[in-house]
Structure 1
Amino acid sequence: MGQSDEMAAFLRIVERGGFSAAARGSPLTPSALSKLVQRLEARLGVRLLTRTTRRVALTPEGETYAARARDILALIEAAETEVTAGRGRPRGHLRVNTSTAYARHRLIPLLPAFFAEYPDITLDLTIIDRPVDLVAEGVDVVLRTGVLEDSSLLARRIANGRRVICAAPDYLARRGTPLRPADLLTHDCIVLHGLARMTVWPFRDGDRIAALNVRGPVTSDSAEALRDMALAGLGIIRVSEFMVRDAIDDGRLVALLGAEHASEDVPVWAITAPGRHRMPRIRAFVDFVAARAAE
């Protein structure tokens, strides 16, 4: 067994969480996989896994090895697929991470068309409303909206959006409709906690942009929860338009202060680790989502 095969087997153990799970569908038995890791650890002189009765976990050295192994195997795959380009459709397993809101309102509705076009690609979709380390966690593509923080990754802007202020009709009937930005100071504004910039809403004031600090009785770490609370009549929200466009169109939410609201651009990014963006299945996925997101 070559080093690349060892790396692939090691990653299978890590991703499946144990030797028995990794052995299913593999020509290697759990015992053979365990011995493979023992030989690998002996050769490297470090412990890569900690073993319990239920599962295995990576040591710090194991995390480093797993991250580099993913990169190496990705480069091998990219090299092989480049020289055989045109001989077949993109295939293989794809790991994608995105936020709850983007998954629900944009990505998941696209998946039937994606699989119809690329039936040889399988997808592992993780949905987490927090930043992820795509290298350490073995993610191929991260889809995120807003400001990026890690400049060491490759980011492709696949769409531009904007934010909208809105509330449910029953809330407005109960509390009144704000007719100018200052009216929001007497309203319940629901915001994301932990992000100071999301509590400062920008409005046009002549030739300048004025910032208004809003507040309300509840905050959340989930933009999707903000949408649900607005639909329940708890208050006024300011979120990406793609999250609420359907609710505004069918009257469940009402857009507010559209003329005064100075919405900044909300870019949508497809983020990959260096070296992986050329892999056909990753390129096919990003190109597909970018084409639909632009629409």
Structure 2
Amino acid sequence: METLITLESFVRSAQSSSFSAAARSLGLTPAGVSQNVARLEKKLGVRLFQRSTRGLTLTESGERFLQDVSGGLDTLQSAIANVTTSAGKPSGMLKVSMAPVLGRSYLVPLLKDFLAKYPGVVPDWHFDTRRVDIIKEGFDAAIGGGFELPTGMAARELARAHIVAVASPSYLALRAPPRRPADLKRHDGLVLRSPQTGRIRTWPLRNREGDQVGGEMPARVIFNDPEALTQAALMGLGIAFVSTVDVVPHLREGTLVRVLPDWHADIGPIALYYPGHRQLPAKTRVFVDFVTAEFKRKGLARLLSAV
């Protein structure tokens, strides 16, 4: 097992170009990872990394060694993780990244049943507003929208990510609701600045007939956080375009009202992403299957649909 952990330390360090990042993914200290790599280098009789204050760079020998061991290491790790499946007991730390509102509102409520079914699995859930690099950062899976699907990754679609226009009853009591998208220009817009590009987000609205128009509004307030948009809409400050993930509870309670109910923007899938190799660790496989089944059983795709 000492050889396995030294190989893991090398591969994760090479993938992240950092002993610290590798340590986080392996549950070790940076010093421990560094010592493991140094021990491996000593056994092999070659230097695998060039070390500097800027980080780690693979040597030519390190590049060759990484190509040779990466696939075999993944297979070995999966085999070890899967050895408990014959007893029906997947186990280990399950590191998952998910969008905060999606995670708190729709994934955390599933946790009690999941833990009861798989007591050997320890969820290590990260509520991230950014897109994580699943492989480089050592995640077992990620749930959200807007992820690219690189080679070696797989995805299960859970629902569609729909954007809708909402406002509070107090705002609509003072202003006539828009009857068509062009009417938005006469309203106070609560708009989102993209954290990635710094630009104000606009949404291509579609109706059931397939017509498409822009959804521009004059900006009354600008945020770079969707949750802040929802809060401002609840305060009656204007109309906001937000994801159904964020506002379904408020629409049910009547604290927010959907305006232009025949129009929405479809921005792609909400999906569960995970490494796509066949020897998927048991803990990851049962998590993927469980979440997918629960979304279907609870009708969450339909709940989050704007159509």
How many equivalent pairs are there?
279
Letter in 2 for 1:149: E
Counterpart AA for 2:287: F
How far did residue 292 of structure 1 move? 2.0
In the superposition, relative to structure 1, how do residues 33 and 241 fare at CA in structure 2: closer, same or farther (>3 Å)? closer
Identity of aligned residues (%): 29
1:251 maps to which residue?
254
Contact 2:191/2:200, CA 8 A, preserved across alignment? no
Checking the alignment, whether the CA contact within 8 Å between 1:67 and 1:138 is kept in structure 2 is no
Mapping 1:173-212, distance limit 5 Å: 173-194=173-194, 198-204=201-207, 208-212=211-215
**Alpha-carbon distance in structure 2 between the residues aligned to 1:274 and 1:67:** 18
SS at match of 2:139: coil
Amino acid in structure 2 at the alignment position of 1:150 = L
Aligned counterparts, 1:266-285, within 5 A: 266-275=268-277, 278-285=280-287
Q: Is the 8 A contact 1:141 1:272 kept in 2?
A: yes
Give the AA of the match of 1:106: Y
* Unaligned stretches of 5+ residues in structure 2: 14-18, 299-307
SS in 1 for 2:266: coil
TM-score, scaled relative to structure 2: 0.74
Gaps of 5+ in 1: 24-29, 52-56
1:213 partner SS: coil
1:59 aligned partner, one-letter code: L
* Contact 1:181–1:203 (CA under 8 A) maintained in structure 2: no
Deviations 1:146-193 (A, max 9, x none): x44334221221233533221112222344422322221122222332
Contact 2:178–2:260 under 8 Å retained in 1: yes
Counterpart Cα distance in 2 of 1:8 and 1:239: 41
Counting only pairs closer than 5 Å after superposition, residues 38-77 of structure 1 correspond to structure 2 as 38-42=38-42, 43-47=45-49, 59-61=56-58, 73-77=73-77
Equivalent-residue separation in structure 2 for 1:277 and 1:190 (angstroms): 47
After TM superposition, the structure 1 = structure 2 runs for residues 26-175 of structure 1, keeping only pairs within 5 Å, are 35-42=35-42, 43-47=45-49, 59-61=56-58, 73-82=73-82, 85-145=85-145, 147-152=146-151, 153-175=153-175
| Contact 1:167–1:253 (8 Å) recurs in 2 | yes
Amino acid at match of 2:40: L
- The change in CA–CA distance for 1:189 and 1:41 in structure 2 (over 3 A counts) is farther
Q: Distance in 2 between matches of 1:116 and 1:133?
A: 30
Give the TM-score taking structure 1 as reference length. Answer: 0.77
